[in-house]
Structure 1
Amino acid sequence: MPRPFTRLPEPWAFVRHFSPNWFAMTMGTGVLALVLARLPWTLPGQLALAEALWWFGVALFATFGLLFLARLLLHRDTLWPMLLHPVQSMFLGAIPMGLAMLIGGLVQFGPAHWGAEAYRVAHGLWWLDAAMALASALLVPYLMFTRQQHALEKMTAVWLLPIVAPEVAAGAAGGLVPHLDPAAARAMLALGFVLWGLSLALAFSLITLVLLRLALHKLPDTDFAATSWLPLGPLATGCLGLLTLGQDAPAAFAGTALAGAAELAPGLALVGGLALWGAGLWWLVTAVLFTRHYIRDNMAFNLGWWGFTFPLGVFALATFELGRLTELRFFVLIGLVLSVQLAAIWLLVLQRTLRGAWHGELFQAPCLAGPSAPAHGVLRAD
C-alpha cells in the first residue's frame, strides 16, 4: 500500500487546509442511516447496519470537528480567507446540517442503549444545532451582501447551503418533539415552524435565481455537477419537515389556545407536503438529466460529489413519510428505488473520498491557494 499523504500541498495540510466541505460527508452518511432505518419493512441485519452507519457518521463528525477547530485555533490567519471565499463560506451550513442528521439518528437508535437520556441529550444538541443553523443563515448572506464578490453567471445552487440549515433543523425537531414534555415540545415546535418558514421562503427565492442563471448561462462546468441536485434538498426537507411538524402539532398544543388550529395542522401539512414533493419530483428528474449530460463530459471527482447524496436521501425519507400517511404504495415503490440509488451513490463517493484522503489530494483549500485559485473553489481529486 502506498504511503499516506504523499500529495499534500504542504506539511500538516490536513489541518491548515481542512475545509467545511468535509461535513457534507456526515450529511450523506447520516441520511443514509435514517433511510435504512425507516424502510417500510425490516430485513435481517438492517437496523444493525443503519446504526453502524450512524456511528460512522458520529465518528466522522467528531473527527471533522476537531480538525476544523484545530485549523481555527492554530491557523487563525485562514479564517477570513475562508469567510470571504464565495464558495467555501457556503459550506459552513453543512456543519449544522450534518449535526441534525446525527440528532435524528440519536432519536432513532439512542433509546435502545440509553433510554430517555438519549432524548434529553438530543434535546440539548438540537438547540445547539438551531443556533448554528441560524448563524450560518445570517452570517454568510451578510458577507455575500457586504464583502464577497459574486456574479450571476458564476452563481450555482451552492448558495442554498447556508440558508437551508434552519430547515434541516426544523425537520430534526419534528422527530424529537413527541418525546419531550409539553412545555419543551411546544417551544421546539413553534421554533421549528419559524425555522421552516424562514428557510423555505429564502430557498424558493434562490431556486428562482438558479433557474434564471441556467436559462441565461446554461449548465456550469463539470466541477459543479453535484450542485444540480442541491435545489432538491430544500424541497425535500421542506416536505418532510412540514409533514412531521404538522403531525406533532395536535398533541403539543392540546389544551392551549392553539388547540383548534393545531387540529387542522396534519391535514394542511399533508396537502402542503404533497405540493412540495411534486416540486421536488420535477427537480429530481431534471437533476438526473443534468447528471447524464455531465457524465458524457467525463466529470472529475471532488468533494462536491457528496451533494449527490443528501438531497436524494431526504427526498427518499419524505417519500416514505408520504407513503405512510397516504397509504399509497406508489410512494413506497418510489422510495425504494430512491433508497437503492442512494446506497449505490454513497458507496461510490465514499470509495473515491477515502482514496483521495489517503493520498492527501483532497486537503487543498481553494481559499488558501492564492489569487490565481479558481473562483469556484472546488476541491479536486482527479
Structure 2
Amino acid sequence: MERNLTDSHNPFSRESRAFARNSSTPSFTYHNADQTPDQFPVDEKRPERALLGSQGNSAASSIAGGKEGHGDVENGHGHGDDLDIFDPSRPKFGLRKRLHHFTWAWFTLPMSTGGLSLLIFAQPHQFPGLRQIGLFVYIVNLILFTVLTCTMLARFFLHHGDFYRSLSHPREGFFFPTYFLSVATIITSTQRYAIPANDTALIWAIQTAFWGYVVVTLILAVGQYSFVFAKHSFGLQTMMPTWILPIFPIMLSGTIAAVISDTQPDIAAIPIVVAGMSCQGLGLFVAIMMYAHMVGRLMSAGLPHREHRPGLFMNVGPPAFTALAFIGMANGLPDNFDRDMDGFIDVNLIRTFAIIGAIFLWALSLWWFFIAVIAVVSSPPKYFHLGWWAMVFPNTGFILATISIANEFGNDAVKWVTTGMSICLFAMYCFVLFHHIRAVIVQDIMYPGRDEDVEDH
C-alpha cells in the first residue's frame, strides 16, 4: 500500500530521491483512477503506461531505484533504467530470479480451490458424481498447497533475507495470512471429504487441528497488527481491503467450528462452538472497523486504480462467512442444549436468532458485492494480478451463506438461484485460473515490479 508521493507527510525515500536526481522523467503516484492520464508523461509508442498511471510509474521507479532491494535489473542484465516492465519484448528471466518474486499472495490459489471444493459439497441440488468431483478438487488443492509451500521455502533458501522482507513489506506482508486461510479450507474440506462419521481417532484429530488453528491464528492476528502499528504508517487514501486479511484467519475459526461441531461428541461440541463464536465475533468487529476506513478512503480518494479493483471483493467475505458460521454453529449445538435447564434459552431460540443475524450480515455482503462488481465493470483491469482471486474466495462464502439461509427456510427457488450463482463462480474460477497460468508463462507475474513485493498503489 504505497503512500501518496504528493503528500507532504510522506516524503520521498532515500532511494526515490536518488532515482529522481538521475532521471529526466519524474515519477508520480495517484490513488484515484478517475484522475486524467494527462498528469503523467505519455510515451506515444506505449500509451498503456499513461493508462496505468501509478502502477506503471511507481513500479518502474521501484525497479530502477532498487527500492525493494532486490537488484534484479542491476545484477548482470544491464538494462537499468531502460527496463519497461510493461513492454512485451522485455527480457525474460530464469527460474531462480523469478522465485525472488514468488509472493505470499500465491496462496490465494489454494484458498480459492479449497473454497470451491466446499461449495461443491454444499450444493443443494446434487447429481451422481458431483461429490466425486468435489473430492477430486479437494485432492488437487492438497497438491497445490504442498507445491506452493515447497516453492515458497525454495525462495527463502535461494534468496536469504526474503523471509523477513516478505513479512515486513507494506504490501506483500498483508498477504501472509492467505497461507492460513488455505489451511482453514483444508481443515474444513478434510472434515467434509475425509472424516468418516464413526472414526473416533480422526474426529479427535480434526478437533486437535481446530484448537491448534485457533491458537496460531490468534497469535497471527495480534502479532501482525502489532507489527503494522509499530513499523508502518499508512495514509487513509492508501487504504486497501488487504488490511482486513490479518484478522481473516482467526475469523474463519468460526467457519471451521460450524463444519466440525455437529460431528463432535456433545462434551466437545459446546466448547468448539463457544470458541468459534468468540473468534468469529473478533474477526467481524475488526473487519467492521476496517470497513469504516475503507468507506472513508472511497469517499475521500475515490476507487482504487483499475488494476486493483478486484480486491474490493475481499469486503464481501467477513459478513458472508460470519452469516455462514452463525447458522452452522447453531445447528452444531446438541439438540438437547439448554444453558440453564429452564427452557428459556434453548437451542431452538439460539437457532432462530442465528438465522436473523445471518440475514442481516448477508445483506451487508450483498451491498459490498455490488459495489465491487460496479467498480470492476466500470474499469476492468488490464494486467493480471494475484488479487484477482478475490473475485472467487470471498464470493464462495457469500454463496455458501445464501445456501445455508435457503436451507433453513426450505425455499427451493432460492436454492436454484444458488445453483446458478455456483455455476457463475465456477466460471470465474476457470477465468482467473486461465489468466493466472498465462501470466506465469508470459512472465506477467513472478517478474520484477509485477508482483505484490512492490508498492504500486
Give TM class, smaller chain: 0.7 to 0.9
Displacement of 1:183 after TM fit?
A: 3.0
Contact kept in structure 2, 1:200 and 1:238, CA below 8 Å: yes
Equivalent residue in structure 1 for 2:119, among 29, 35, 56: 35
Q: Provide the residue aligned with 2:329 in structure 1.
A: 245
Displacement of 1:41 after TM fit?
A: 1.7
- Is 2:445 the partner of 1:362? yes
Contact kept in structure 2, 1:19 and 1:365, CA below 8 Å: no
Q: Provide the residue aligned with 1:91 in structure 2.
A: 175
Q: Provide the residue aligned with 2:430 in structure 1.
A: 347
- Partners of 1:369 and 1:203 in 2: how far apart? 22
Q: Provide the residue aligned with 2:455 in structure 1.
A: 374
Which letter maps to 2:408? L
Which letter maps to 2:384? F
- Partners of 2:302 and 2:451 in 1: how far apart? 29
Q: Provide the residue aligned with 1:82 in structure 2.
A: 166
Contact kept in structure 1, 2:306 and 2:376, CA below 8 Å: no
Q: Provide the residue aligned with 1:287 in structure 2.
A: 372
Which letter maps to 1:374? E
- Partners of 1:134 and 1:15 in 2: how far apart? 30
Equivalent residue in structure 2 for 1:26, among 110, 122, 140: 110
Structure 1 or 2: larger helix share? 1
Equivalent residue in structure 1 for 2:189, among 80, 84, 105: 105
Cα deviation, 1:187-207, whole Å, max 9, x if unaligned, reads 221211110111000111111
Q: Between the two proteins, what is the percent identity of the paired residues?
A: 22
- Is 2:130 the partner of 1:49? no
Which letter maps to 2:296? L
Q: Provide the residue aligned with 2:48 in structure 1.
A: none
Contact kept in structure 1, 2:107 and 2:179, CA below 8 Å: yes
- Is 2:296 the partner of 1:212? yes
Structure 1 residues 198, 191: CA separation in 2 closer, same or farther (over 3 Å shift)? same
- Is 2:419 the partner of 1:336? yes
Displacement of 1:232 after TM fit?
A: 0.3
- Partners of 2:231 and 2:289 in 1: how far apart? 21
CA radius of gyration, larger in:
2
Contact kept in structure 2, 1:8 and 1:363, CA below 8 Å: no
- Figure out how many residues of one structure are paired with residues of the other and give that number: 367
Displacement of 1:76 after TM fit?
A: 4.4
- Partners of 2:153 and 2:425 in 1: how far apart? 30
TM-score in terms of structure 1 length: 0.87
Q: Provide the residue aligned with 2:390 in structure 1.
A: 307
- Partners of 2:446 and 2:147 in 1: how far apart? 14
Displacement of 1:74 after TM fit?
A: 5.1
Structure 1 residues 186, 94: CA separation in 2 closer, same or farther (over 3 Å shift)? same
Where structure 1 has 5 or more consecutive residues not aligned to the other structure, the ranges are 1-5, 377-382
Contact kept in structure 2, 1:223 and 1:300, CA below 8 Å: yes
Structure 1 residues 329, 119: CA separation in 2 closer, same or farther (over 3 Å shift)? same
- Partners of 1:250 and 1:278 in 2: how far apart? 28
- Is 2:311 the partner of 1:230? no
Q: Provide the residue aligned with 2:235 in structure 1.
A: 151
Q: Provide the residue aligned with 2:250 in structure 1.
A: 166
Displacement of 1:125 after TM fit?
A: 2.5
Give the RMSD, CA atoms, in angstroms. 2.7
Q: Provide the residue aligned with 2:259 in structure 1.
A: 175
Where structure 2 has 5 or more consecutive residues not aligned to the other structure, the ranges are 1-89
